[in-house]
Amino acid sequence: QVQLQESGPGLVRPSETLSLTCTVSGGSLYDSLYFWAWIRQAPGKGLEWIGSGYYTGDTYYKPSLKSRVTISLDTSKSQFSLKLRSVTAADTAVYYCARDQEEKFDYWGRGTLVTVSS
Amino acid sequence: SYEVTQPPSVSVSPGQAASITCSGDKLSDRYVSWYQQRPGQSPLLVIFQDTKRPSGIPERFSGSNSGNTATLTISGTQTVDEADYYCQAWDSTTRVFGGGTKLTVL
């Protein structure tokens, strides 16, 4: 059974960089069938795909976030990470990591709330 | 960029069928997935590739996709089905979610 767990600071100052890590167990980041994704949900709002990474280093990002986002995979640690630069209050959200098979996200983490505030 | 649209809310009586739509340009050219999200929980995949159910999802959940509209149907809706539902489509480089539909069972 694949399991994902997000970790990282729950509070980030405006203009700084949000950094989160997702640790994967029960599955391999090397598996060519899957991408590894970050998705967020602002309080009371819907789901927003941020981007996805592949074991080859290929990455895809939501166009409106592309200039601020980096997703990277550390296959040796079974972890992948999210960096979101120059955050504002609008980036306050629950951040989920998920296994991405293009047409579906089949396994999700429990999510971690990140608040942007001074 | 591609967009998909859902109604904000749908209401249904227990035991009746609920239908939630997802609209997008030539949506039937793409696979659509559906997710259920109960309050305080992570989303759960309930339908993928338009019509397929993951293991463990009850048979009362079904999906279709034709023209510009995909539909999630819950037959014999139960109170436990009250939740937010999201559709999701994709192309080679992006994934997109609908805005979500709150299903109320009353």
| pLDDT at site B91 | 80
| pLDDT at site A103 | 86
pLDDT in tens, A34-63: 999 999 999 999 999 999 999 999 999 999
pLDDT bracket for residue B93 (50, 70, 90): confident
B22: closest CA of chain A, how far (Å): 14
Is pLDDT of B92 > 90?
Answer: no
Spans of chain A below 70 pLDDT: none
Mean pLDDT across the stretch B79-88? 98
Give the Å distances, CA to CA, from B74 to A64, B63, B80, B88. Answer: 34, 9, 12, 17
A-B contacts (CB, under 8 Å): 58
Give the Å distances, CA to CA, from A77 to A21, A24, A81. Answer: 11, 9, 11
| pLDDT at site B40 | 95
What is the spatial distance between Cα B15 and Cα A34, in angstroms, rounded to a whole number? 38
Cβ of B96 under 8 Å from any chain A Cβ?
A: yes
Counting every residue, how long is chain B?
106
Cβ-based contacts of B1 with chain A (< 8 Å): 63
Any residues with CB less than 8 A from the CB of A96 and at least 6 apart, and which? A6, A38, A39, A40, A41, A108, A109, A111, B42, B43
pLDDT in tens, B6-64: 999 999 999 999 999 999 999 999 999 999 999 999 999 999 999 999 999 999 999 99
What is the spatial distance between Cα A114 and Cα A41, in angstroms, rounded to a whole number? 10
| pLDDT at site A102 | 84
| pLDDT at site A62 | 96
CB distance A96–B48 less than 8 Å? no
Is pLDDT of B1 > 90?
Answer: no
